[in-house]
Structure 1
C-alpha cells in the first residue's frame, strides 16, 4: 500500500531507480519506490557494467555481489569480419575491477533490490503514475488506481518514455526522424570467438555487438534498417553471416530471448524542474554502442541519492541544481562517444582503408589504448 506522504518518491525500479533508493537507504533515508510492472523483468537487456560504474557501486555495497554473478571481459575489440582493427585491454585500468563485467540487467537489478531490502527498503508494485501536480512545497502524485502520494521530491527513473518527465513538462529534445533501429537477442551460438571479450563488428550496413554472458549465451545487438516485429533465429543468423566472422562463421543454435527497439540521441532540457529530478534513460538516450547507457544511469542514481540525502539532512536545495548542472554535461559526452562509435561503421567505402589504418595504428600505441580503455570504463571527474 502506498503511503500518504513521503520525502522522496522514486518512479521506476530499474537499475537507476534502485540505485537512487539504495543510496538513500545507505544514508538512512527511506524512499518510496514504485514501478508500473507487477513483477521485475527477467530478460537481460543491458549486459555490461563497466569498471568506473563498479567503483561507484562499491560505495553502496553492490559491486562485490554483482561481480560474483558476472563474467569479466578483459578486452574490447573492434573487427571487420575476421580482421581485428583495434584491441582495447582493460587490465591496466586504475580500478579494483580491471574489466568490463558482462552480466544480465536482470541480475544487476536483483543485486540492487537485495541491497535495498537489506537496508529496509522495498519496491511497491504495480503502480502506474497518471498525474503530477507540482507546487512550491513539493508534488502530489496520482496513480491509475486513484491513490495519491504527497512528496517533497519526485525522481523520474522511469525510462526514455518517462511519464514523470512528460507530466513535469520537461523538454526531451531530439531529431524528428524515426531514429536508429536495432535488433537484440540472447542466443546460443557455435563460435570460435573468445568468450572473454566483447567484439564490435564494423560492416557497411551497420555495427554488430557480440558479447558473451555468464550463462553461456551471447548478447547480439545490431543496427538494422528496419527491425522485424518478431525477430527469429534466421534474422540473427543472417546478421552474423553478413557482419560476423567469415573464415569460421558463427552458427545460431537457439534464441533465448529477442526484441527490437528504436533509439534517438536525446537529452532532457533540464535534469531538475522544481521538485522533479531526472536520472537514467528518463534524462538521456543514445546508441547502445559501447554499452554506456545503463552505466551512466547507475552513476546518475548514486549521485542523485547522495545529493538528495544531503538536502534532506539540512543542506540547501541548490545542491540539486548542482546535480543537474554536473550530470547533463556527462550525458552529452556519452552521447557524443556513442555516436562516434556508430559513425565508425558509416564511413564511405573510399575512406574505410584510412579508418582501418588509424584504428590499427591506435591499437599498437599503449597510451592511446589506455585512454580508450578509461573512456569506455566510464570514470568520471571527482565530485560528479
Structure 2
C-alpha cells in the first residue's frame, strides 16, 4: 500500500497533472524521462487495493518499453502478472470459438492478467526512481486559466500555478468541467457486477472466458495468487454483491462450471460510452477516463489511458500538442465503437439474434485471418506504435 505523502505544493510548475491513476502516473513518468517539471496530485490519501482494470495488453507493454528501453519496467510488471495467450468465447459451458494471442507480431504475444494496483505500483516505483512522487491528498476543486498559465485551487485553499494542467481525473473530471468540454455519449441500461474471488473454475487458468447466455454476459479471467476476476452484466445488481450473489450469477451463466470458495472484493458499477468533444481547451488537456469512457468488454480502458498519457507526454516534450488530439481522439472513438458493438452483441436478449451471433462466432473462429484481426485489435496492436 502506498504511503501517504506529505509533500508540500510548490508555488509553480510547468505541468500540473490531476489524478494519479495509471494515466496520471504514466504521464508523470514520461515527463520525468524528458526532464519536464511537473506536479502530480491525487485526492486519495493512498492508492486503492481495489480496481476495475485487470489486464495489460501488448501495446501497453510496448509503451512501457518506450519509457524504459532496458525493459525493466515491463519485466517488473510481467513478474507480478499472469500471461494468458487465449480468449475463449462460450455459450454456457459450450465453447464457440477461441482467439489466440500467441501468433501476434509483438514481443508480448499474450494478455497480462494483473490487478490495476500492481500496474500503479510498478509505475510509481519507476517515477520515484526518476526523482518524482505523488502529492497526496490534494483534492483540486477549482481551475482557472489565463494568458500566462493555469491556477489550481485545492479543497484546503492552497494554490498551484502551472503552465498547463492535464485532467487524468476520471469520468467526473474537474479539469474537463473547468475547460468547458462536452462529454458526448450515454449510459448503458444494465449495471455491471465486478468481483475478485477464489474458486474452482472448470475452464481453468489458461484462458479468459467470455460467456454468453440468456441471463446476460460474463467475463472470467485468472489473476495471480489463484484468484479470478469476474465481470457480469445484470439489470439491477446490489451495491456490494456477496459471495452467494456471485455464485448465483455463475450458476446461471456457466452451470456446473464454478464453485466460489472466497470473495475478496466486489462492486457494482454502471458503464457509460462517452468521448470528450475536444482533448484540449487552451492550457487544459485531457487523457484517460477524463477523455473517454466505455464498456469493459475487451479490457481496453486502462490500456487506452496509458497510451494517451505517453502520447501526451511526448507531445508536451516536443511542443506538438495539436498532434496529440489528432492521433488519440480517433483512437478513443474507435475503441468506444468497438467495445459498444461487443457489449451489445454479448448482451442481446433476443433468442434469434443470440442464435445468429453464436453461429457467426463459430464460423468466424474457423477463419485464421478473422481470428488474428480480433486478437490484434484486443491487444491494441492496431493503434499507433509508441515512439
> Under a length normalisation based on structure 1, what TM-score does the superposition of the two structures give?
0.95
CA contact (8 A) 2:66 2:386 kept: no
SS of aligned partner of 1:183: strand
Q: Matches of 1:152 and 1:206 in 2, distance apart?
A: 48
What's the offset of the Cα at 1:159? 0.7
Matched residue pairs, number?
374
Change (3 A) 1:250 1:383: closer
Change (3 A) 1:180 1:16: farther
What's the offset of the Cα at 1:383? 6.9
1:138 aligns with 2:149: yes
What's the offset of the Cα at 1:45? 2.3
CA contact (8 A) 1:3 1:149 kept: yes
Report the equivalent of 1:333.
Answer: 334
Moved over 6 A (4+): none
Q: Matches of 1:346 and 1:277 in 2, distance apart?
A: 34
1:229 aligns with 2:252: no
Q: Matches of 1:365 and 1:251 in 2, distance apart?
A: 34
CA contact (8 A) 1:180 1:264 kept: no
Change (3 A) 1:116 1:383: closer
1:362 aligns with 2:372: no
Report the equivalent of 1:272.
Answer: 280
What's the offset of the Cα at 1:179? 4.3
1:72 aligns with 2:83: yes
Structure 1: runs of 5+ lacking an equivalent = 312-318
Q: Matches of 2:344 and 2:189 in 1, distance apart?
A: 14
Q: Matches of 1:164 and 1:109 in 2, distance apart?
A: 21
Residue range with higher mean Cα deviation, 368-377 or 164-173 = 164-173
Change (3 A) 1:153 1:221: same
Report the equivalent of 2:12.
Answer: 5
CA contact (8 A) 2:208 2:221 kept: yes
Q: Matches of 2:257 and 2:188 in 1, distance apart?
A: 32
Report the equivalent of 1:261.
Answer: 269
CA contact (8 A) 1:181 1:223 kept: yes
What's the offset of the Cα at 1:100? 0.2
Residue range with higher mean Cα deviation, 202-211 or 100-109 = 202-211
What's the offset of the Cα at 1:345? 2.2
CA contact (8 A) 1:30 1:121 kept: no
Q: Matches of 1:253 and 1:382 in 2, distance apart?
A: 42
Q: Matches of 2:189 and 2:354 in 1, distance apart?
A: 24
What's the offset of the Cα at 1:205? 2.8
Report the equivalent of 1:283.
Answer: 291
What's the offset of the Cα at 1:215? 1.2
What's the offset of the Cα at 1:88? 0.4
What's the offset of the Cα at 1:53? 1.2
Report the equivalent of 1:194.
Answer: 204
Change (3 A) 1:205 1:190: same
Report the equivalent of 1:314.
Answer: none
**What do residues 31-71 of structure 1 show as CA deviations (whole Å, max 9, x unaligned)?**
10000000011124210001111111211123221111100
Q: Matches of 2:51 and 2:227 in 1, distance apart?
A: 11
Correspondence for 1:373 among 348, 364, 375: 375
Q: Matches of 1:378 and 1:123 in 2, distance apart?
A: 28
SS of aligned partner of 1:221: strand
Q: Matches of 1:206 and 1:178 in 2, distance apart?
A: 13
What's the offset of the Cα at 1:80? 0.5
**What do residues 154-194 of structure 1 show as CA deviations (whole Å, max 9, x unaligned)?**
0100111111111221111223x674411101011112122
1:203 aligns with 2:204: no
Q: Matches of 2:226 and 2:385 in 1, distance apart?
A: 37
CA contact (8 A) 2:189 2:235 kept: no
